[in-house]
């Protein structure tokens, strides 16, 4: 895939980066940096989510970028268009590689955010983050969706939101590995697909409901897979990261 490079954007695009994103799901910035450092040989992108950003704030991105990582800033913004636009513009100054909004915020919100980020980054010569729309959380299953009033299957809801994101100018979407193939067929090759909920065979599912192996996710069309607790909870995170990458490449770690 080739992403057009605009003034101020990172030359080469994300396709040059490792497909494994390490989720730094801790409120402790020092611990996050230690985990990132442990997998630095296998990982180029780290995910900063609500837990770390709520604790360490913008300093978390500055520190991790100083350590040599690109940052996937996963805040899943969902608010009125004006509020999300203002937040996105402020976050662009931190130069994340990717930035998430929640597709349930609707088309007006996503379109406004996409236009604002593009225009702002162009005007001030900042690298433009990829705006990524989160569809249905991997912790939700059919019963959970029914309880909040969503009709139809999980896949149908993911498809609706993925198409809406594509039509709204998003650069990518987040969905579980069980929907990746269908999403890829629906939105085409230009959208970046980020897939959490991947687990090596035999690993604990934790609170994830819709999971698959990293290799299955990438073969279905994912550009990036996100791993968190299976790295942070490992005695040797680097070995687990290597095993995930070998699974993506279709080889056993011994080969």
Cα atoms in the 13 Å half-sphere on the side-chain side of 213:
15
Q: How many domains does the chain contain in total?
A: 1
Residue at 8 is within a domain: no
Contact 226, 195 (CB under 8 A): yes
Residue at 3 is within a domain: no
Residue at 6 is within a domain: no
Q: How do 20-23 and 45-49 pair as beta strands?
A: parallel
Residue at 173 is within a domain: yes
Place of tokens 């550009």: 223
CATH number at residue 117: 3.20.20.70
Going by pLDDT thresholds of 50, 70 and 90, the confidence category of residue 12 is very low
Residue pLDDT, tens place only, 103-159: 999 999 999 999 999 999 999 999 999 999 999 988 888 899 899 989 889 999 999
Residue at 2 is within a domain: no
Domain of 74, in residue numbers: 14-247
Residue pLDDT, tens place only, 41-98: 999 999 999 999 999 999 999 999 999 999 999 999 999 999 999 999 999 999 999 9
Residue at 27 is within a domain: yes
The residue ranking higher by pLDDT, 200 or 72, is 72
* Integer Cα distance of 240 and 255 in angstroms: 15
Q: Is 132 helix (H, G, I), strand (E, B) or coil?
A: strand
Residue at 235 is within a domain: yes
Active-site annotation, residues? 76
Residue at 190 is within a domain: yes
- What ranges in the chain are assigned the alpha helix state H? 29-38, 50-56, 58-66, 81-92, 107-124, 142-147, 154-167, 180-187, 214-219, 229-232, 237-249
């Amino acid at each position: 895939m080739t992403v057009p490079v605009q003034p101020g954007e990172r030359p080469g695009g994300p396709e040059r980066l490792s497909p494994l994103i390490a989720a730094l799901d801790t409120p402790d910035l020092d611990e996050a940096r230690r985990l990132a450092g442990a997998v630095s040989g296998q990982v180029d992108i780290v995910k900063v989510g609500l837990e770390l950003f709520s604790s360490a704030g913008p300093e978390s991105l500055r520190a991790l970028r100083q350590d040599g990582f690109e940052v996937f800033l996963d805040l899943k913004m969902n608010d009125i268009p004006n509020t999300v636009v203002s937040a996105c513009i402020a976050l662009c100054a931190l130069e994340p590689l990717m930035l998430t909004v929640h597709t349930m915020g609707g088309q007006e919100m996503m379109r406004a955010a996409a236009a604002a980020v593009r225009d702002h980054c162009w005007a001030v010569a900042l690298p433009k983050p990829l705006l990524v729309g989160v569809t249905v959380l991997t912790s939700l299953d059919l019963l959970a969706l029914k309880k909040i009033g969503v009709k139809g299957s999980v896949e149908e809801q993911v498809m609706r939101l993925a198409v809406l994101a594509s039509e709204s100018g998003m650069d990518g979407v987040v969905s579980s590995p069980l929907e990746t193939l269908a999403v890829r067929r629906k939105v085409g090759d230009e959208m970046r697909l980020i897939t959490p909920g991947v687990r090596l065979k035999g690993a604990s599912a934790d609170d994830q409901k819709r999971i698959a192996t990293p290799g299955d996710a990438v073969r279905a069309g994912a550009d990036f897979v996100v791993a968190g607790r299976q790295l942070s909870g490992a005695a040797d995170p680097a070995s687990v990261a290597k095993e995930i990458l070998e699974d993506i490449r279709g080889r056993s770690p011994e080969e």
